[in-house]
A and B are shown apart, each in its own frame.
Chain A
Amino acid sequence: MVDDQGQQVGAGSALAPGGRPAPRAGASAPAASVVGVRVAGGTLNDDLRAIRVVWKRELIRFSRNRIRIVTSLVQPILFLFVLGTGLSPILSGSDHFNFRTFMFPGVIGMTVLFTAIFSAISIVWDREFGFLREMLVAPVHRSALVLGKCLGGATVATIQGAIMLALAGAVGVPYHPLMLLILIGEIALTAFALTVFGVLMASRISQIEAFQVVTQMVVLPMFFLSGAIFPTSKLPQWLAVLTKIDPLSYAVDPLRRTVFSQIALSPRLNALLNPGVTWNGWRLPTLLELAMVAVAAGVMLFVAILQFSRTD
């Protein structure tokens, strides 16, 4: 029997009209019930269904875990209102600038980072508890499963990031509609790239214990070097180089520029707090930074799909 035949006969003919399976053992079973069984994993429609259901599962699990939603907001709020307020006196001086405003885009980036990585790494749990196998044995392309997972994690991280936007007023950022819209777009792109990054790491991790290692060795350095919590304008050379190597810098900077576009600031403070990412003195335009994030996401997605498509 050829795969194509099944598809042409179409979905569902294996089932009798009542939704019950066609009788198989009886002599009266029509020969058509064999060719009528559809063949999944070939058509675009099958893959779209798979992407959608994997995505939906992420959202169901997220919405059911209210404690996770709340606790994952505690950390950014601590950073913003405790650390941000604590550091404000050092910086404000004559210009009377609220350091919380500086930290706001960085803390959004942090929220997205931790949510996205946590969602992606849940693959390791799925592997441990067996559910990953249920997905991997399905007659769909692995690429659809990986993409569904990445989109699901990205959606969850975008929602968490968007919740943080509600705090804008509390840190002196106006609720400018276009700014908020652009921010959500940037958050979504960042969330997707970071989820893909997490999924790629998860493809190489087989033990839950390794999650701690990943957090300590990868996620925290990425966070600290990204310019999320301190300005990168007056750093010693070695640290400045590290911040430019950190891919997250290229996702945090667009967020900060978008926020700062709506804030009146002296040129001196702007240069200090919003220096952007520079290569050899040249400041990268926002669109280039976003394009780099998108390309990185695409490349990592490709590698992650390859990783999950291997068989023994």
Chain B
Amino acid sequence: MKALRFGRNAAIAVISAGALALTACGSDNATGTAPATPAASGAQVSGTLTGIGSSAQGAAMDVWKTNFASANQGATVQYSPDGSGAGRKALLDGSAQFGGSDAYLKDDEYASSTTQCGPDGALNIPVYISPIAVAFNLPEIKELNLDAVTVAKIFRGEIATWNDPAIAAQNPDATLPDLKVTPVNRSDDSGTTSNFTDYLAAAAPEAWTDKPAGVWPATLQGENAKGTSGVVKTVTDTPGAVTYADDSAVSGKLGVALIKVGESYTKISAEAAAKAVDAGKPVEGRNANDLSIKLDRATTIEGAYPIVLVSFHIVCSTYADQKTVDLVKAFEAYVVSDAGQTAAADAAKSAPLSKDLQDKTLKSIESIKVKS
């Protein structure tokens, strides 16, 4: 009996290790993409760069590191998607040379970054932009106009059926079914949830009373599922269900909401997301080259789509030796370059950085230097 129990546990261990290996391979679909252009500086770099951070960047990081390694013989990038918090912590305690994070460094974290990174502290560089769609499963309906308050009420369970007057008033042309609204949220802690609730809290503060967080508020009744694929699958199977997920995962399969910004309704797109990011304000109290962006979720700019996830690479403004500086600069320059952004858009369906933001990031990367 004991032997059997041991065997079972061992089997489970082997299986879960196998599953991990499989999932790790699953997102690595970069083998077909063309090798990157060599680093911006032109010279080949070598060495190993270690990063820890956001799992949202995982798929994009896989192609970035593969392409970077094939363009620079002898250079490797290791990235461990342990989570945004782990990434920021690793950069601050020096166990990684860069961190990936769905949020820029908090003020106290920025202040403590001077220990590892020198007097100018760390640099937050936006590298990965992903618009988040509000997606629903309604027969015959592919688009709906919704404002922030309605979205908040739908996800709080305060709107019971799809033909509710609040929805009907914004969609006079649609024939809305008398179908139960089933909101589906992410059951795991995720950057998508964090950005979505941040949007609701900022754009509809009167309806959304919870604080923005990566974990869905436990007090809300609703369905949930694990991961982007889980929520999309659940909504696809359930008429009347609605969720929020990366645009790339829902396009074509489900109906998508147009979000009210200013006086009109904005359709989700890479351009609209980039526009919202460009409208964000730099965070005060950072060094001149830092690109922390405080998104204005309640923006009224026409054509901007404010439900967007911006993920950063957090690097030091100074490193101890020239070799590391060259390596970081070359890698980050590739990541924000057209080639890098296109590769990420192909592999992870992210929205490429706007030209303006790209120039700013390149300037910021160029400022990285050796510790004096």
Determine if chain A interacts with chain B: no
